[in-house]
Structure 1
Amino acid sequence: MSHLIGEFDCKLDAKGRLMVPSGLKKQLPAADAEGLVINRGFEKHLVVYSKAEWDKVTAELAQLNQYEEKNRKFIRYFTRGATELSLDASGRVLLPKSLLEYAGIGAEVVLSCQFNKIEVWAKDAYDAQLDDEPENFSSLAEEVMGKGRRIDG
């Protein structure tokens, strides 16, 4: 799968359904047949994976030693609330109410593509996070990416 790209402002309908934007649907050709998987993110947001990507993630989790308590806890917290999503005939997915409540998501959401996944944020939380951008983003880039790597930009 190639990396997903884009940021989409969307609205949920009264039933909690999300219309998958056409620009995103084009990047997820197997979504109609295979579906998607949604779960909790590390911050107060949700994460959507294609079914194939979710299978890769869970295969990686299955390699962890489950006799170690920290591994069991991580697996439990990471997969908590994971739910398969199916697109209806109109290209909508019904987001689970419990996950929407966890992430504080109301009617307005932002879908932010991050490589192999899509983050789903309450619009106000997403905007607040971006308002907290470091004053010197280039210093952060150097700290995270500059460890002997050569990237032109």
Structure 2
Amino acid sequence: MTHLLGEFDCKLDAKGRLMVPSALKKQLPDVEREGLVINRGFEKNLVIYPKSIWDAIVAQLSTLNVYDEENRKFIRAFTRGATELSLDAAGRVLLPKSLTEYAGIGTDIMLSCQLDRIEVWDKNAYEETLDSTPANFAALAQKVMVDKKGAADGI
């Protein structure tokens, strides 16, 4: 399983291309062969997935009952705008204009690795999001990470 690490301060060029940082590319050894998929995030951001991770998510989605209206709405919203990305010879990817407009992404962006995916944020929006980190991070960690028996799994 892919575990990506790091935050990367980047810029989009005039054509909306992102130079994938070399430290990130090293963590994605199959990216040139496999490719990437980008789509909308749950917040006003974008998410880049290695193609194998995206395929696993789509496999999960395909198990949902499409006769259920909530499932259809979720699938439609989640996959809206999903686009395959491929690196050009210079190691750049072209971010779709419709997605960058949705996320309010300008020239200055932040890439934030989140386990097996990469969040793409407008730099100012990312900093605002981090500024709103819960005041009591320890309480949040306890709520999220501790199982019902009171022991954190895997920590």
TM-score normalised per structure 2 = 0.95
SS in 1 for 2:109: strand
Counterparts of 1:12 and 1:96, CA distance in 2: 12
> Once the 2 structures are TM-superposed, how far is the Cα of residue 152 of structure 1 from its aligned partner?
8.5
User: Are 2:112 and 1:112 equivalent residues in the alignment?
Assistant: yes
Superposed, 1:68-83 pairs within 5 Å as 68-83=68-83
Superposed, 1:1-150 pairs within 5 Å as 1-147=1-147, 148-150=150-152
Counterparts of 1:80 and 1:101, CA distance in 2: 14
The letter for the 2-side match of 1:93 is V
SS in 2 for 1:26: helix
RMSD: 1.2
> Once the 2 structures are TM-superposed, how far is the Cα of residue 2 of structure 1 from its aligned partner?
2.6
SS in 1 for 2:64: coil
SS in 1 for 2:42: coil
SS in 1 for 2:73: helix
Identity within the alignment, %: 67
Counterparts of 1:135 and 1:64, CA distance in 2: 37
SS in 2 for 1:58: helix
Could you tell me which runs of 5 or more consecutive residues in structure 2 were left unpaired when the two chains were aligned.
Answer: none
Give the 4+ runs in structure 1 shifted more than 6 A.
Answer: none
Counterparts of 2:108 and 2:71, CA distance in 1: 35
Counterparts of 2:151 and 2:86, CA distance in 1: 41
Counterparts of 2:152 and 2:104, CA distance in 1: 40
Q: Note the alpha carbon deviations across 1:117-139, whole angstroms, 9 max, x for none.
A: 00000000000000111111111
Aligned residues: 153
SS in 2 for 1:110: strand
Counterparts of 1:18 and 1:104, CA distance in 2: 15
> Once the 2 structures are TM-superposed, how far is the Cα of residue 34 of structure 1 from its aligned partner?
1.5
SS in 1 for 2:90: coil
Counterparts of 1:88 and 1:152, CA distance in 2: 39
SS in 1 for 2:27: coil
TM-score normalised per structure 1 = 0.96
